Structure 1
Amino acid sequence: MSASFALALDAAHAAAAAQHYPQGALYVVATPIGNLADITLRALHVLQLADTLACEDTRHTQALLRAYGIDKPAAHWLALHQHNEAQAAQTVLERLQAGQRVAYVSDAGTPGISDPGARLAAAAASAGLRVVPLPGASSITAALSVAGAVASGADDGGFVFAGFLPTKAGERDAAVQRLQAESRCCVLLEAPHRIAALAATLAALGERPVTLARELTKQFEQITTLPAAALAGWLQQDPLRCRGEFVVVLHPVAASADTAQGLDVLQRLLQELPLKSAVRLAADITGAPRNQLYEAALALKAQS
């Protein structure tokens, strides 16, 4: 056990042991994305309590648990990753149906979003078994929380999670073109050996602000916001900047004066005309993008 975490298990027991943890339930447990101190007290308690620990990499998770003084017999461990998720999920279902508490963890962060776990959770739910989330660390929300990129207005809020883009150049270029048409904040993930290629492709977004978050919560964490066209040059200035796992946040596209005027005109026209006619006229009168006006018209109709 790490000396700095010696009191963690006592704190976890004091904080979480009084809660109810049903048997025959799948516990989807978020784990640290780098800094071990980011584990939650409830996660520590459930990891001790679980009859089976299903994990993306048993060696990685064993190292995490040992840091906190948790030691599980070999029979309690089950590997479940992207290459065996369907088969291993059946083993998990059998153990759940036998009344075991099964905790699932990925290598880092919250399972089932970009990491394995979604198929397991779906299989358990389809079998009528309880699936319990234990929230915690996530590189996606960590990056968004400091990027200042998610608008809070009712009409322009939210974000799009695109995950890892295709590795082939042509497919990646096509994916970036689709993102270029998305006015909301977009979140991508990228590996160190592909970040330079992604940055070169994102240069097509020009002055659109992009936040690069590298090695989040770790010793060499680095977060910077630059125009998309400047990303490749920034990475080339220092080889260390290409190391580590990346979260890439594309900031939302600022509404142009034409768009703002188009929305105002659209609202007036919708009071007198059918939706498609109102959108066409608003676009012709103001020069605002027709697709944005059409989406806004649908939203306005839904609210009325």
Structure 2
Amino acid sequence: MSLTPILLAPMEGLLDHDLRDALTRAGGLSRCVSEFIRITDQLLPPRVFLRIVPELAQGSRTAAGVPVRPQLLGSDPVCLADNAARLAELGAEGVDLNFGCPAKIVNRHRGGAILLDEPELLQRIVQAVRDAVPAGVPVSAKMRLGNLDDALAIDCAQALVAGGAQELVVHGRTKVQGYRPPAWWDAIGRIRQALPATVPVVANGEIWTVEDALRCRAESACDALMLGRGMVADPGLALALRAHDAVAADGPGCTVDWPTVLGLLLHYADVVATRVAPRHQAGRVKQWLHYLRRRHPQAQALYEQVRTIADPRQLRTSLELAKAHICLPLA
């Protein structure tokens, strides 16, 4: 029996190759989408794609074997198509298109959610990309409910599908709503209802717990989910949702405990040390630890211990001591 898709969201400035590597080791994820690759007016060289999506060099998969789909962002159909074709040549698992980024600098340059005011352009972009890549390379898109409001949400979704998008991820907020709660899962449901049943729709936004995931499924009528900040805060979230589904189907299940999460954090620190300038390494590790505080009380205590540490070697020593402490036998 095939598993219900659980995708890992792109998160610019946080969820890069290194964190994808750590989170996919935790288990439960079906596929990742890379942080966006900005396309303006040129065909990017392979080295740029490989820098942002190093997984392309290993079959478009993380070390844990989870597929990674590169995401393109831009507004020029021809240029996006050319770059999508290059991604296909590099062995990309598929091509995803970003129509959801709410960042002001991105929107000012006609990228991301600002394009949700132009359904016709959305269709032309997807059609150009679909025509540019081999039939066996999936093309998907991610959108929000709209730019200033959700008046064109269904029009945009239908335009993306008409252009050839084979899967649609919908973040349940408009651009102006940013990331403020709540996410309007019922609005995703209206989009689901307006599209052919054969087109997968993936619900995204404000899913922090298994209970959130179940309510999102019910309100959106989407079985497939995309996890972002919730997965960063709780690396066991996808696996816990799998466990719930497995129990419901009389199958086995498991979750991820704090010692395992701490081990993933140490692994992440090691990977960051090989790819990030020393002056930024401690900050990157503490950034993830900051998110982990939401789910793990132990992370709060550890964060208080290390939050002023800037030396990456000293930080790693503190993480190792924390792991050694929880591994000590009881007296």
Q: TM-score, normalised by structure 2?
A: 0.25
Higher strand share: 1
Larger radius of gyration: 1
Q: What TM-score, normalized to structure 1?
A: 0.26
